[in-house]
């Protein structure tokens, strides 16, 4: 198997899972190590004889094809992507390059090396935004609204086109919002946990009543592996844990778990084009592949807070360097306009 983006949040969880489930199989991880890629996330695999790391861009078709041939790869699972919506608002180009161009190059490499299956890790954001009721189904038309979502939808179209046109065996999974260990702290849950630890302001976009459907990353990876090993060619599966929460509820839960009070909350200028509500109907994967999530949100969130508390070295390292300037660009003006500075409340 060749996994791309295995040094990121979800890809690293998936690598740990497949090494546990199929210790006799070889897994090759192709990752270019962007700001979000971190070999510390998969440190435990560094000396594993069934694991190889290739530092390469998924757009580098030659290197990828050589890795596919050298290791006789049967399955590609494509996690590699620019994954953060706010960054796609600031600059869409890298999203087009990696998420669309990279996926296309990978599809071409898969064809050239006669790979048996290509699994694309997609997102519920391709469906757009919901009103106060209903849930996305696999038949819901794609209606992406952020540049990130547009790039993921375009990639899904290319994957489907390669299935129909070239007969490539493809599977697409579309999951809702993940949380858990090793998540890069640009995302809501780790950002709020780390700010709460430090007694810093918690920047809530707009009224904070946007709804996301949260799933533990390990449940997502279990579902992906069922799709990898058991889905029919051309299948599309929604993945979600039926766990809708307004952002304010998530932020309040984090404050409680970290022993902080609500005075840290700042309602800041909203994300442009902010999707109001996501909710997944995951009946198909539950019914066809027998998947169900194992984590409930209350325990999963508490364990995640504990993981971040116990891994302060990891947190310090990922927040050093370019993350600081990203954070300032994204939040300094918003927080100061909201009437609180970044360090307000430091005990």
Binding at 53: pick from ligand DAU, ligand NAD, none (beta carbon under 5-8 Å per type):
none
Of 2, 102, 264, 319, the one binding ligand NAD (CB under 6 A) is: 102
The three state secondary structure string of the chain is CEEECCCCHHHHHHHHHHHHHCCCCCEEEECCCCCCCCHHHHHHHCCCCCEEEECCCCCCHHHHHHHHHHCCCCEEEECCCCCCHHHHHHCCHHHHHHHHHHHHHHHHHHHHCCCCEEEEEEEHHHHCCCCCCCCECCCCCCCCCCHHHHHHHHHHHHHHHHHHHHCCCEEEEEECCEECCCCCCCCHHHHHHHHHHHCCCEEEECCCCCEEECEEHHHHHHHHHHHHHHCCCCCEEEECCCCEEEHHHHHHHHHHHCCCCHHHEEEECCCCCCCCECCECCHHHHHHHCCCCCCCHHHHHHHHHHHHHHCHHHHHHHHCCHHHHHHHHHHHHHHHHCCCCCCCCCC
Tell me whether residue 101 or residue 190 sits nearer to ligand DAU (CB atom).
190
Which residues lie closer than 8 Å to 307 by C-beta, 6 or more apart?
Answer: 180, 181
Tell me whether residue 22 or residue 197 sits nearer to ligand DAU (CB atom).
197
- The question of whether 40 is a catalytic residue gets the answer no
Of 81, 113, 168, 194, the one binding ligand NAD (CB under 6 A) is: 81
Name the segment binding ligand NAD (CB under 6 A); options: 78-86, 161-169, 260-268, 277-285.
78-86
Binding at 4: pick from ligand DAU, ligand NAD, none (beta carbon under 5-8 Å per type):
ligand NAD
Of 1, 9, 226, 340, the one binding ligand NAD (CB under 6 A) is: 9
Tell me whether residue 59 or residue 111 sits nearer to ligand NAD (CB atom).
59
Q: Does 119 bind ligand NAD (CB under 6 A)?
A: no
Q: Which residues bind ligand DAU (CB under 6 A)?
A: 83-85, 123-125, 176-177, 187-188, 191, 203-205, 210, 212, 247, 271, 278
Catalytic residue, chosen from 148, 179, 237, 278, is: 148
Binding at 42: pick from ligand DAU, ligand NAD, none (beta carbon under 5-8 Å per type):
none
**Considering the complex, what minimum distance in angstroms separates the CB of residue 167 from ligand DAU?**
28
Of 10, 193, 223, 335, the one binding ligand NAD (CB under 6 A) is: 10
- The question of whether 124 is a catalytic residue gets the answer yes
- The question of whether 137 is a catalytic residue gets the answer no
Distance spanning both ends of the chain, measured CA to CA: 49
**Considering the complex, what minimum distance in angstroms separates the CB of residue 337 from ligand NAD?**
28
- Residue number of the CB atom closest to ligand NAD: 8
Tell me whether residue 65 or residue 122 sits nearer to ligand DAU (CB atom).
122
Integer Rg of the chain from CA: 20
Binding at 58: pick from ligand DAU, ligand NAD, none (beta carbon under 5-8 Å per type):
ligand NAD
Q: Does 83 bind ligand NAD (CB under 6 A)?
A: yes
Q: Does 178 bind ligand NAD (CB under 6 A)?
A: yes
Which structure tokens are listed for 230? 């058991």
The residues assigned a catalytic role are 124-125, 148
């Amino acid at each position: 198997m060749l996994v791309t983006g295995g040094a990121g949040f979800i890809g690293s969880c998936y690598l740990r899972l497949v090494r546990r489930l199929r210790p006799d199989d070889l897994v090759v991880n192709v990752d270019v190590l962007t700001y979000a890629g971190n070999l510390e996330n998969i440190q435990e695999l560094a000396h594993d004889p069934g694991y190889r790391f290739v530092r390469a861009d998924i757009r580098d078709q030659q290197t990828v094809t050589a890795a596919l041939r050298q290791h006789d790869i049967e399955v590609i699972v494509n996690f590699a992507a620019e994954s953060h919506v706010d960054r796609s608002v600031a600059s869409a180009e890298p999203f087009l390059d990696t998420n669309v161009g990279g996926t296309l190059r990978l599809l071409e490499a898969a064809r050239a090396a006669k790979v048996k299956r290509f699994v694309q890790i997609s997102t519920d954001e391709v469906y757009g935004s919901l009103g106060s009721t209903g849930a996305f189904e696999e038949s819901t038309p794609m209606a992406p609204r952020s540049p990130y979502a547009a790039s993921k939808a375009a990639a899904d179209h290319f994957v489907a086109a390669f299935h129909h046109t070239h007969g490539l065996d493809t599977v697409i999974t579309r999951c809702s919002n993940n949380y858990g260990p090793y998540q890069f702290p640009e995302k809501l849950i780790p950002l709020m946990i780390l700010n709460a630890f430090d007694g810093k302001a918690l920047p809530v976009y707009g009224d904070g009543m946007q709804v996301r459907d949260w799933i533990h990353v390990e449940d997502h990876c279990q579902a992906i592996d069922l799709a990898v090993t058991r889905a029919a060619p051309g299948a599309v599966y929604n993945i979600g844990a039926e766990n809708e929460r307004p952002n304010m509820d998530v932020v309040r839960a984090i404050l409680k778990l970290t022993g902080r009070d609500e005075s840290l909350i700042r309602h800041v200028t909203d994300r442009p084009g902010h999707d109001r509500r996501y909710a997944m109907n995951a009946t198909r994967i539950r019914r066809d592949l027998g998947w169900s999530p194992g984590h409930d949100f209350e325990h999963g969130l508490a364990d995640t807070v504990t993981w971040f508390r116990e891994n302060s070295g990891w947190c310090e390292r990922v927040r050093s360097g370019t993350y600081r300037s990203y954070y300032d660009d994204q939040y300094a003006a918003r927080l100061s306009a909201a009437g609180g500075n970044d360090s307000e409340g430091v005990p």
